[in-house]
Amino acid sequence: MKIWGILDVMKGKGIDLKVWAWRAGPILLILAARVFRQWQAGYLNRMWTGDLNLLIGWVLGWFLADADHLFYATMCNPQELTCQRVRQEAGKRNWRRMWGILEETKGERTKLPIRNILTAFVMTGVGWWMISSGASLLASGMCLGFSIRLFSEIITDPDYGSWYWLFARPFSREEHRGLVVAWGLVLILLCSMLVRG
């Protein structure tokens, strides 16, 4: 009974539960499956630090995707009013207000250095390499968290053309749909590779 009250409070504060389920759902499923496999194999006590590194990497990768707004505002177009306001707040070390300005005006920025299909595919490829090599669960989590964050944004973005600004020609809706479906299948495969560990 109390959990529903907490959820009502979260909804009242403007926290979208669907968004948070999408953000936390994949990593929680991966971690639950990994813990279950470790428990079945009898080595649960020795492997929890790797799972913690995976979770930390996921969170870092998820927030790394926001770096392009900051980069765009401070480096790409310093002559724009919004960029000047962001730099002014950063100079005052008012980080909360600076981030608030970035959030309020994120619709103004269309040609972002990170939010494009090329960066998404490159990071997914790096994630494939990291996961298949077994090098680092922190780096694997970072690549996968970053890629799933971009994937979640591209499937909800009504202006899919903004993700293809690096290319000389426009992409049709069918081409976009095909690329997103292929990318989604690769992400599902990466998640299953992480579960197998």
Sorting pLDDT into bands at 50, 70 and 90, what band is 188?
very high
| 7 vs 100, higher pLDDT | 100
Q: What pLDDT score was predicted for residue 47?
A: 63
CA–CA separation, 157 and 76 (whole Å)? 23
Question: What distances in angstroms separate CA 109 from CA 128, 137, 144, one per listed residue?
Answer: 29, 33, 24
The stretch 175-192 carries a mean pLDDT of 93
Distance CA 84, CA 172 (A): 36
- Confidence at residue 46, expressed as pLDDT on a 0 to 100 scale: 62
Give the pLDDT confidence of 72-85 residue by residue, as tens digits.
777 767 778 888 88
pTM for the predicted model, two decimal places = 0.78
